[in-house]
Each structure stands twice: as structure tokens, then as C-alpha cells.
Amino acid sequence: MSSALPTRTSKTPAEGGDGRARTGAPPPGSARPGSVARRRARAGWFFASPALLVVAAVTVFPVLFSLVLSFCEVRLDYGGLRLGSPTLGHYEALLTHPEWYRALAFTLGFTVVSVFAELVLGTLVALVLERLGAARGWILALLLLPWALINVIAAQLWSYLFNGTYGAVGWLCEQLFGTQPDILGEPVPAMAAMVVVDVWKTTPFVAIVVLAGLMLIPGDVYEAAEIDGAGPWTTFWKVTLPQLRPIVAIAVLFRILQAFGIFDLPFVLTQGGPGTATQSVAILGYRILFQNLDFGGGAAVAVTTAVIVMGCCLLFLRVFRAHVDEEGRA
């Protein structure tokens, strides 16, 4: 699986070889380098284990705990948590609940639309930035501001701009089209509003990653395209885009996973509404947990989310690797 991440792991073999050459192959007759190697190997785990143990304690262990909870009757009383008899009830309740399917559909739709929009806009922004002269540094700095803004603040800011009576966006719509829509009060405009906010906040990240990818494309590739008589349009589709694929693919994977876990934005901007139109899976899980105090149900949401996310991850990496292979053979 690690080989599915070409940009990262391509370094590893070289380093591994490097390390072996230094430590694993002592000059014949000298015992000292071997003991140094062993000492270094022991030090390796000694250095890495505190961090890895902390990560495991707060991620791997809770996931396993969720798994147990989701298959048990759970009661919370003054004495603490009581686990009852094993049951499939939490999953049954979840899988037969239309709200879960609606939340899943909204989350998937939001993820696909916003990541796609960010990718297209981010690429356009990167193409502009690549051609900019002295102003590029300034614009890059400005682009970092929305990216670094606290999600909750971005949501409050846009809820003000989208406000039905005095929001600037509504006012602008009235000037342009003569009607002032109640953006956050109708399901489809509210979903669109969430996409707009997410695109505003995360396109800078995609643009910066794509820009880095553009800088990595060697100039002679473009020269070759020019000699072959390719116009700018053909060059973009046939040269630039394929070259960008590896770096962009990883960024897209991260964006998909992040968008899938979205919580802050709907929590503040729409409270999942109107109705349950913008209720993401994370919002649903939160509600099951803290409004219904249903810990088993919440655990079932957690486990299903984890399974979906891991599945998407593996699928994405597999598909992506297939592309790389085709490319490599071609």
C-alpha cells in the first residue's frame, strides 16, 4: 500500500539503501560498526515509540472501543458506562433510518461538488499565479488568510453575508436580479452556500499545491510540445494536466476526507437546516450522541464513517496507482 504513494515513498528505498550501506555492512573484521547499527536500531524505536504510542492511544484504541460499543447495549449512569448484551440494534436502527441516508447523501454530494469546484478554481488560480510577476508573493500571502481563518469564524462571517434581510450577498442579488433570495432558508441555496464558503476557504490550499506542481514541470516538456505544434489549449490538456496528476491526486484525497468529516461549517452556518437539508454525517453523529445521549448509536455512526472513509481511501489509492502504472508503461 505504501507504494501507492509515489511522491512520498519514492525517497524511501534510496534512504533505506543509504542506511544499510552505512550501518548494516561493516568492513570485515571490525565488530564496532555492527554494535553501532544495533544501538541505532534500538534508538530508532526508542525515539519513535512515545509519539506512536500517544497516537495509538487516542486513535487506534478508540476506534476499537467504538467497534465494541456499537455492538453492545450501552447504558450510562452515575457509576459510569455499562455494557450490556451484544446486539446489532444500533446498526439496524441506523441502516433503517432515512435521516442517515439523507445525511450520507448530503455529505457525499457536498464533498464531490466542493472538491471538484476547488480543483477547477484552484487550477485556474494556480495558472494565473504562475504567470504573475512580482505580485505573486503578495497574492500568495493574501490567499493564506482565508485558509488559516478559524472555520467557525468563516461560518459566522458568511452567515452574516448570506443573511436574509441585510446580508450583502442578498443585497447584491437584489441589485442584479431584482429579487432577494432567502439563501439559508431554502434547502438548495443553503447547500450551495455551504459549497461557496468551503470553496472560498480551501481553494487557496488547492491552488498552492497545484502551483507547486506547475513549478515542477520541466521547461523542455513545453518546448517539445511547442515543436510538435501544440497550441496552448492542447498543451494544457495533454502536457500540463497529466504532469500535475500525482501531486494533485494526493491533495484531492486529503480534501475529500476533510470535506467528508465536515462539522464546523453546518453547525454554525445552517445548524444542519433548513430542516435536515444540510445535516452532514458528523452533525448527525453529534446529535445522536448529545441530544439523544445514545452512545451505542453514536458509536455505530463513528464506525460506519470510519469504514466509508477507509474504503474511499483504499479505493482512491488503488485507482490512482492504476493510472500511474498505465502512465509508466505508456
Q: Under rule CB under 8 A, which residues in 83-122 are in contact with other proteins?
A: none
Distance of alpha carbon 3 from alpha carbon 79, whole angstroms: 48
* Residue among 229 and 232 whose Cβ is closer to other proteins: 232
Helix (H, G, I), strand (E, B) or coil at 280: coil
From the DSSP assignment, how many helices (H) and strands (E) are in the chain? 16, 2
Q: Name which of residues 222 to 281 contact other proteins (CB under 8 A).
A: 247, 250-251, 253-255, 257-258, 260-261, 263-264, 267-268, 281
Stretch that binds other proteins, among 163-171, 184-192, 220-228, 231-239 (CB under 8 A): 163-171
Stretch that binds other proteins, among 91-99, 220-228, 231-239, 300-308 (CB under 8 A): 300-308
What DSSP line would sit under 167-207, residue for residue?
-HHHHHHHHHHS----GGGSHHHHHHHHHHHHHHHHHHHHH
Residue 310, C-alpha cell as written in the block: 477507509
Interface residue with other proteins among 147, 222, 236, 316 (CB under 8 A) is 147
Amino acid at 30: S
- Asked if 153 touches other proteins (CB under 8 A), the answer is yes
* Residue among 50 and 229 whose Cβ is closer to other proteins: 50
Interface residue with other proteins among 27, 45, 229, 326 (CB under 8 A) is 45
Q: How many residues bind other proteins (CB under 8 A)?
A: 117
Interface residue with other proteins among 6, 97, 151, 217 (CB under 8 A) is 151
Stretch that binds other proteins, among 19-27, 94-102, 225-233, 322-330 (CB under 8 A): 19-27
Least distance from C-beta 265 to other proteins, angstroms? 10
Q: Which of 124, 329, 311 is nearest to 236 (CA)?
A: 124
* Residue among 292 and 330 whose Cβ is closer to other proteins: 292
Find the angle CA(322)-CA(327)-CA(330) to the nearest 5 degrees: 125
Site string for other proteins, 22-41 (x = CB under 8 A): xxx-----------xx-xxx
Interface residue with other proteins among 93, 108, 217, 313 (CB under 8 A) is 313
Interface residue with other proteins among 28, 29, 131, 326 (CB under 8 A) is 131
Distance of alpha carbon 213 from alpha carbon 280, whole angstroms: 32
Least distance from C-beta 330 to other proteins, angstroms? 25
Stretch that binds other proteins, among 126-134, 223-231, 233-241, 319-327 (CB under 8 A): 126-134
Phi, psi for 76 (deg, rounded to 5): -115, 120
Contact 157, 290 (CB under 8 A): no
What DSSP line would sit under 86-135, residue for residue?
E-SHHHHHHHT-HHHHHHHHHHHHHHHHHHHHHHHHHHHHHHHHHH--TT
